[in-house]
Amino acid sequence: MLAYIGRRAVLAIFTVWAISVLSFAIIQLPPGDYVTSYIAQMASMGSVVSDEEAANLRIQYGLGQPIYVQYLKWMRLVVVGNFGMSMEWRRPVTEVIGERLSLTIVVSVAALLLTWVLALPIGIYSAVRQYSVGDYLATFVGFIGLAVPNFLLALVILYFGFVLFNAHIGGLFSPEWQDAPWSLGRVWDLLKHLPIPALILGLAGTAQQIRIMRANLLDELRKPYVVTARSKGLAEARVIVKYPVRVALNPFASTIGYTLPYIVSGSIIVSLVLGLPTVGPLLLKALIAQDMFLAGTIVLLLGVMTVIGTLISDILLVWIDPRIRLEDT
Amino acid sequence: MLKRMLRSRLALTLAIGALSGAVAAGALAQSGGKTTSYIGKLEGPEVVTDPAKAPKTFKEAPQLAELVKAGKLPPVAERIGQDPLVIKPLKEIGKYGGTWRAGFTGPADFWNGFRCCSGPDHLMFWDYTGDKALPNLARGLEMQDGGRAWLVHLRRGMKWSDGKPFTADDFVFWFEDIYRNKDLVPTPTAAMAINGEQGTIEKVDTYTVRFKFSAPYYMLPDVLAGSTDLAGQWGAYRGMGGFAPAHYLKQFHPKYVSEAELDKKVKGAKYDSWVRMFHARNDWALNPDLPVLSAWKTVTPINTATWTLERNPYSVFVDTAGNQLPYIDRVVLTLAENLEVLNLRAVAGEYDYASRHIDLGKLPVFLENQQKGNYKVYLDPGDYCDLIIKFNLNYDADPEIAKWFNTADFRRALSLGIDRDQINETFWLGTGTPGSVVPTDSNKYNPGPQYRKLWATLDIKKANEMLDKIGLAKKDPEGYRLRSDGKGRLRIEIMTLGGQFVQYTQISEMIRGQWKKIGIDLQVQEVERSLAIKRASANEQQLAAWNNDGSEHLFTFPTHVFPFAIDDVATSGPLYAKWFRSAGAQGKEPEPRMKELMEKWKKAFGVPEKERIQLGKDIWKIAAEEVFIIGVVGQGPAAMGVRVVKNNMGNIPSRMYNSPDGKTPGISRPATFYWKN
């Protein structure tokens, strides 16, 4: 068991290194650099960056250097825990991300909890009562949830929220709480703003999880051990929850691999549409602005999260499912 | 067929566009489409330059009076000094208090705050018509030695926002230790030079500075007033500005602190060099500790979720009754993660005054919600062309196309093939003016009303005749003209950018349809913006759509009049630009008329104003005659010209001069805006 985890951990470190190279390379791929996108941004806002200024900026940011030099420079900073200075925000990258990380985690965890709270019972119900009215209803709603792009849903909700309820547009706080220090009032304000993003973000996931749960449970319910349990007179609820549901939970454990990075970045487009102050829009902006250090750090962070998430789900699976444990030894 | 090069953000933009488009169309039907009635009379506050008319006693905001009483602040008269900068508010003397809410889009949106809240802090600045440069932070400007030297008279007793005096030493520090420091400013600015030779700045006495040049520099007052490198603290983050708070910045400069100490500061603040730390400390929008001269000063920086500005207790601006300006206590700009959210918030009345980022396409929605949001919509048309099409005169990848781009009649014929009225109705909702590239008729450089229409009307018959005559008479079965080298149909490409103030791609698609009638096959290519710059500077662009905002101030903002910038989103000749910038050492010598235009522009800096105005007119004449750039629709409110203001905000002009050089709304002196209740 320990050797298994150890092997995975060593692999993980190599993967993270490869991710750092890749993420840096990907950021360099689009044409131009931070200065060209800065010029373009200024131009679209009705001002002009002179050629002298552009030249000065390139010197200042060291953009004229070869890519591997820039990468090594960045790596030297990364290993000591300094991820460099964001070009656009002109603050240390760690600060820029750190500020948004906690709120991102709040939103994503809320969405995730909502997904599980809705998906598990509905999934179980749909499987047990297959082809009932309730199952059809859940299936119908589920397919709509899967089919509607959630950013579109976000737009529609945003617009109707304004037209019908005069709700504050976007964001996670009302203007009066935006900069207030943390207090009960601010938490309450956050809680008031949380349901809509959580619902929108959670909806597609919910639909998907309902389908997975239903399908897995249906497979299990037809297995002989369930029939045996029933014939021995075990209570129906106990029959279902004790074994088939536990087995059907496997996919939930294995999704943690991609759930962790999701918690960090949130859904980029939905966050952008809803104006959430999370990491998602930050990543998008950093990529558009070609802010290498910021974008690189976020991509690296996402990579690390995926690796850690996968590691956790490997371990979880071993723990939940005795069959995997046996195969491995 | 629309070929899209990169699909970044495409899905999102499309969906949002579709939604808002549908909403807008519905609302427009209700509002009846009469939008020109929202354009009012150009008006604005006036600067009182006569010292005899200046108020002798001063009043201040209640909270500052409290501080004075508590002994934490010197009396108001001491803070303002002997020579206040007096502004006569547009309508009435205002009241103190309140917050002004607006939105911004992130750390790159620093112009937002400069435009609204810096005062403006230029030494000279425009009157409300944008026509004349008047003394601003400087008490006056005095020409010496036939324009080779300029004395800048400062206001006696004027102070930085931390209470330290603003004197000639701040100019000398800027010039010697920032501008001439090769690490801070590797490449000097053209604004400090005449005929390519750099000028100098020297101290005469505490309140007098001399700018010296090797040749007459008559343009200097305009350069100080415009959005140039010598225009106050907005340029400070990159080492420009003309002056800087010496007493504060010395602690970050290697000339004044030991290397070890500076190194410690740099490491402590996590910067990788002292240069970057210095620039960040000298940033008006970023560093709340930086002493400033503006009406408001940053208190929470632009790289946080809320950019807050508060009144500068040492502001030198006063109204005619002696009230220290600004009236409004605080300006709060909240971060909007995207423009749709920003626009919807404005529609919902969550902003008190907004014009930046407000989308003309959503005008009907804004009008519909005026009452609900307790705001009024004003339109501020610019004096420039909102849509221009640049021919890249240096394009050489395809000799056939290069030949036609350099044929004046080809360019003129293409211009005659555009139905500007249709474009104006569809995209400007009828608020624009169809015509050539020349600025509005009231602009002092406008060469005359006849140039508005020159080669800029719809005349398909004439266009076809001209194209036939120059050697493009042969057509393919579909009616498109054939190349003269026998290689099939003549196809030209136009490069556009998405997500801008003007819908370049959609308009270009319309022009593509219109040019079919003159047998020209236009391909529209929407590209990602960095790619646009790369292609333009690598001479790979053919046509490009953009606007020429700023060109109403021809001499301080020439980028969209002739090839001036090398890195540009739309170029009319990168090699010409290189030639011009290197004084002929690199690039390609321009064709005679372009060269004539460039020479006139350069000459204008060293001649008196009357002569310069004539040169300006000549430049626009050449531009309109040669059609190096096609003007399509202009003088519309597309760029920051849709203004949404709360009904109870006072001293709001019904129309203001809309221009980057005028830092609109800065030209209307937002320090005089106030809350009526």
Contact between residue A265 and residue A283 where contact means Cβ atoms under 8 Å apart: yes
- Measured CA to CA in angstroms, residue B448 lies from A255, B326, B436, B444, B604 at distances of 70, 40, 12, 10, 19
Tell me the CB-side half-sphere exposure of residue A306, using CA atoms within 13 A. Answer: 11
A275/B550 touch (CB, cutoff 8 Å), yes or no: no
Contacts of B276 in chain A (CB under 8 A): 60, 85
What is the arrangement of strands in the sheet containing B353-354, beginning at the earlier edge strand?
Answer: B353-354, B642-646, B375-379
Q: B556 and B458, same structural domain? A: yes
Long-range contacts formed by A117-122: CB under 8 A, 24+ apart: A118/A202, A118/A206, A118/A210, A119/A205, A119/A206, A119/A209, A119/A210, A119/A213, A120/A209, A120/A213, A122/A206, A122/A210, A122/A213
d(CA A141, CA B608): 75
Last residue of a domain, one of B280, B311, B338: B280
Q: Which residue has the tokens 């609109």?
A: B664
Q: Does the beta-carbon distance from B108 to A277 stay under 8 Å?
A: no
| DSSP type of residue B547 | -
Give every CB contact of residue B110 below 8 A, 6+ residues apart in sequence. Answer: B234, B237, B284, B285, B302
Q: Is B259 exposed, middle or buried (0-12, 13-18, 19+ CB in 10 A)?
A: exposed
Beta-strand pair B99-104/B306-311: unpaired
Instruction: Return mean pLDDT, chain B.
Output: 91
Token code pair at residue B364: 């009907």
CA distance A67 to A276: 33
Q: What is the maximal distance between C-alpha atoms in chain B?
A: 87
Between A60, A96, A290, which is nearest B530 by CB?
A: A290
* CB-based contact B306 A275, cutoff 8 Å: no
Question: What residues have CB less than 8 Å from B584, skipping those under 6 apart?
Answer: none
Mean pLDDT of A125-140: 90
**Which one is predicted more confidently, B162 or A202?**
B162
Measure in Å the smallest separation between the Cα of B573 and chain A Cα atoms.
15
Provide the pLDDT for residue A327: 57
A108 pLDDT exceeds 80? yes
- B286 assigned to some structural domain: no
Q: In this predicted structure, what is the pLDDT of residue A247? A: 82
Q: Which two tokens stand for residue B71?
A: 């002994």
B58 and B137 in a single domain? The answer is: no
Give me the pLDDT at residue A181, please: 81
| Neighboring chain B residues of A149 at a CB cutoff of 8 Å | 11, 15
Nearest one of B357, B424, B443 to B657, comparing CA atoms: B443
Which residues in chain B touch residue A75, judged by CB atoms under 8 angstroms apart? none
Residues 6+ apart with CB under 8 A from B398: none
**Tokens for B183?**
């690490």
Under an 8 A CB cutoff, do A179 and B660 touch? Answer: no
What is the percentage of chain A residues whose pLDDT exceeds 70?
96
Residue A90: is its pLDDT beyond 90?
no
Q: Please indicate, yes or no, whether residues B145 and B249 belong to a single structural domain of this protein.
A: yes
Q: Which of A59, A57, A63, A25 is nearest to A39 (CA)?
A: A57
Compute chain B's Rg from CA coordinates. Answer: 26
Nearest CA distance, B84 vs chain A (angstrom): 30
Which is nearest to B520 in space by CA: B569, B570, B476, B455? B476
The residue length of chain A stands at 329
For residue A136, count other CB atoms closer than 10 A to its CB. 12
**Cross-chain Cβ contact B308/A42 below 8 Å:** no
What are B152-209's pLDDT values in tens digits?
Answer: 999 999 999 999 999 999 999 999 999 999 999 988 888 999 988 999 999 999 999 9
> Does B135 sit behind a cis peptide bond, omega within 30 degrees of 0 on the bond before it?
no
With a CB-CB cutoff of 8 Å, which residues 284-323 of chain A face chain B? 284-285, 288-290
Distance in Å, alpha carbon of B486 to nearest chain A alpha carbon: 34
Model pLDDT, residue B23: 45
**Of B484, B461, B462, the residue nearest B471 (C-alpha):** B484
Give the chain A residue whose CA is nearest to the CA of B382.
A46
Q: How does DSSP assign B399-465, residue by residue? A: HHHHHHHT-HHHHHHHHHT--HHHHHHHHSTT-SEE--SS--TTSTT---THHHHTT-S--HHHHHH
Which tokens belong to B127?
A: 């009157």
- The answer to whether the CB atoms of B190 and A50 lie below 8 A apart is yes
Over residues A163-173, the mean pLDDT reads 77
Residue B615 sits in a domain of what CATH number? 3.10.105.10
Q: Is residue B454 part of a domain?
A: yes
Quick one: B436 exposed, middle or buried, by C-beta within 10 A (0-12, 13-18, 19+)?
Answer: buried
By three-state DSSP, how is residue A74 classified? Answer: helix
With cut-offs at 50, 70 and 90, classify the pLDDT of residue B664: very high
Q: Kindly state the DSSP code that residue B583 receives in the 8-state scheme.
A: T
Closest residue on chain A to B108 (Cα): A88
Statement to judge: residues B87 and B225 lie in one domain: no
Distance from the Cα of B143 to chain A's closest Cα (Å) equals: 27
Cis? peptide before B120, omega within 30° of 0: yes
Q: How far does A142 lie from chain B, in Å, by closest CA? A: 22
Q: Do A277 and B528 touch (CB under 8 A)?
A: no
CA of A286, closest CA in chain B: separation in Å?
11
Q: Which of residues 138-157 of A touch B (CB under 8 A)?
A: 149, 151-152, 155-156
Count the Cβ atoms, other than its own, within 10 Å of residue B599.
Answer: 14
Q: Which domain holds residue B659?
A: 14-119+294-380+640-677
Whether A255 and chain B come into contact, CB under 8 Å, resolves to no
Indicate the SS3 state at residue A7: helix
What are the angstrom distances between the C-alpha of B288 and each of A139, B82, B159, B253, B280? 56, 27, 17, 19, 11
Residue B430 has pLDDT above 70, yes or no: yes
CATH number of the domain at B375, please.
Answer: 3.40.190.10
> Between these two residues, A184 and B521, which has the higher pLDDT value?
B521
Q: Are B130 and B382 in contact (CB under 8 A)?
A: no
CB contacts, 8 Å: A54 with chain B:
567
- B187 in A contact zone (CB under 8 Å): yes
Interface test with A, best of B19, B229, B300, B530 (most A CBs within 10 A): B530
Distance CA A319, CA B430 (A): 69
B599 belongs to a structural domain: yes
Q: For the segment B348-363, what is each residue's pLDDT rounded down to a tens digit? A: 899 999 998 898 888 9
Please check whether residue B386 touches A, CB under 8 A: no
With cut-offs at 50, 70 and 90, classify the pLDDT of residue B34: low
Q: Which residues of chain A does B115 touch, with a Cβ-Cβ cutoff of 8 Å?
A: none
- Interval B68-82: pLDDT, tens: 999 999 999 999 999
Same domain flag for B333 and B405: no
Express each pLDDT in A291-322 by its tens digit.
Answer: 888 998 998 888 888 888 888 888 887 777 77
At residue B13, the pLDDT reads: 43
Interface test with B, best of A28, A45, A70 (most B CBs within 10 A): A45
Q: What angle do CA A188, A189, A194 make, to 5 degrees?
A: 95
**Chain B residue whose CA is closest to A152:** B15
- B600 belongs to a structural domain: yes
Query: Where is pLDDT greater, at B617 or A241?
Result: B617
In A16-35, the residues whose Cβ lies within 8 Å of chain B are 30-33, 35
Q: Is the pLDDT assigned to residue A204 strictly greater than 80?
A: no
The pLDDT confidence band at residue A46, using thresholds 50, 70 and 90, is low
Residue A326 — pLDDT band, cuts 50, 70, 90? low
* Residues B533-590: tens digit of each pLDDT: 889 989 999 999 999 888 999 998 888 899 988 888 899 999 999 999 888 899 999 9
The residue of chain B with its CA nearest to that of A271 is B337
| Interfacial B residues in 575-614 facing A (CB < 8 Å) | 581
CA angle A112, A115, A119 (to 5 degrees): 150
3-class state of residue B493 by DSSP: strand
More confident residue, A287 or B407: B407
Q: Is B95 on the interface with A (CB under 8 A)?
A: no
The answer as to whether B236 is a domain residue is yes
Rounded CA-CA distance B356/B112 in Å is 7
Give the model's pLDDT for residue A260.
78
Burial class (CB in 10 A: 0-12, 13-18, 19+), A319: exposed
Cβ contacts (< 8 Å) between B566 and chain A: which residues? 51
Which DSSP string do the residues of B328-361 spell out, in sequence order? S-EEEEEE-SSHHHHHHHHHTT--SEE-TT--GG
Q: Which of B13-17, B171-175, B666-670 has the lowest mean pLDDT?
A: B13-17
Q: Tell me if B264 is assigned to some domain.
A: yes
> How many beta-carbon pairs below 8 A join chains A and B?
188
**CB of A52 less than 8 A from some CB of B:** yes
Closest by CA position to B375, among listed B396, B348, B402, B395: B348
List pLDDT tens digits, range B605-640: 999 999 999 999 999 999 999 999 999 999 999 888
Q: Which helix (H) or strand (E) holds A11?
A: helix A2-28
What is the least distance, in Å, from the CA of A251 to any CA of chain B?
30
Do B376 and B395 belong to one domain?
A: no
Look up tokens 């656009």; give the residue.
A88
Give the residue from A27, A44, A63 with the most B CB atoms within 10 Å of its CB, the best one to mutate.
A44
Residues of A in contact with B185 (CB under 8 A): 56
What does the pLDDT look like over A54-70, one tens digit per residue? 888 888 788 888 888 88
DSSP H helical segments within A88-221, as ranges?
Answer: 93-128, 133-147, 150-165, 184-193, 195-221
How remote is the C-alpha of A139 from its chain's centroid? 25
Classify residue B7: in a domain, yes or no.
no
Residues B600 and B492 reside in one and the same domain? yes
Our CA-based measurement puts residue B334 at a distance from the nearest CA of chain A, in whole angstroms, of 8
| Count of the separate structural domains present in chain B | 3
Which of A36, A75, A160 to probe by mutation at the B interface, max B CB count within 10 Å? A36
B299 touches chain A (CB under 8 A): no
pLDDT at B1: 35
Residue B21: pLDDT band with limits 50, 70, 90: very low
A75 has a pLDDT exceeding 60: yes
- Same-domain pairing of B460 and B511: yes
* For residues A189-210, average pLDDT: 84
Q: Which residue has the tokens 């940053």?
A: B298
The whole-number pLDDT of residue B12 equals: 40
Instruction: Give yes or no for A251 touching B (CB within 8 A).
Output: no
What is the reported pLDDT for A325?
A: 63
Residue type, A224: P
Considering the domain architecture, whether residues B317 and B303 belong to the same structural domain is answered as yes
| Residue with tokens 């000398």, as numbered in its chain | B172
**In the structure, what pLDDT confidence band is assigned to residue A26 with cuts at 50, 70 and 90?**
confident
Q: Which residue of chain B comes nearest to A93, CA vs CA?
A: B270
Query: Could you report the predicted ipTM of this complex, rounded to two decimals?
Result: 0.80
* Chain B residues close to A82, C-beta within 8 Å: 270
Query: Could you tell me if A92 and A85 are in contact, meaning their C-beta atoms sit under 8 angstroms apart?
Result: yes
Which pLDDT band holds residue A45 (cuts at 50, 70, 90)? low
Comparing CB atoms, the residue among A54, A178, A269 nearest residue B306 is A178
Which of A49, A53, A73, A150 is the best mutation test for B, with the most CBs of B within 10 A? Answer: A53
Instruction: Answer whether residue B1 is part of any domain.
Output: no
Asked if B515 and B608 sit in the same domain, the reply is yes
Q: With beta carbons under 8 A apart, name residues in chain B contacting A38.
A: 108
pLDDT in tens, A217-239: 898 888 898 888 888 888 888 88
Contact B187 A41 (CB under 8 A): no
Assign B316 a pLDDT band (cuts: 50, 70, 90). very high
CB A201 within 8 A of CB A266: yes
Q: Based on the domain organization, do B125 and B72 belong to the same domain?
A: no
- The whole-number pLDDT of residue A25 equals 84
The structure's pTM equals 0.86
Residue B319 has pLDDT above 80, yes or no: yes
Please check whether residues B144 and B266 belong to one and the same domain. yes
**Contacting A residues, span 184-243, partner chain B, CB-CB under 8 Å:** none
Asked whether residue B439 carries a pLDDT value surpassing 70, the answer given is: yes
Q: Which two tokens stand for residue B275?
A: 């240069």
**CB of A88 less than 8 A from some CB of B:** yes
Query: What percent of chain B has a predicted confidence (pLDDT) above 70?
Result: 95
Evaluate if residue B529 carries a pLDDT over 80.
no
In B477-635, beta strands by DSSP E: 491-497, 521-527, 543-546, 629-631, 633-634
Tell me, yes or no, if B549 comes closer than 8 A to chain A by beta carbon: yes
Contact A151 B305 (CB under 8 A): no
- Residue linked to tokens 């008196």: B608
What secondary structure does DSSP assign to A268-305, as a single string? HHHHHHHT--SHHHHHHHHHHHT-HHHHHHHHHHHHHH
Q: A246-288 pLDDT, tens per residue?
A: 888 877 777 777 777 877 776 788 888 888 888 888 898 888 8
What mean pLDDT comes out for the span B10-30? 43
Pick the residue with more confidence: B581 or B450? B450
Top-level CATH class of A100-288? Answer: mainly alpha
CATH of the domain at B201: 3.90.76.10
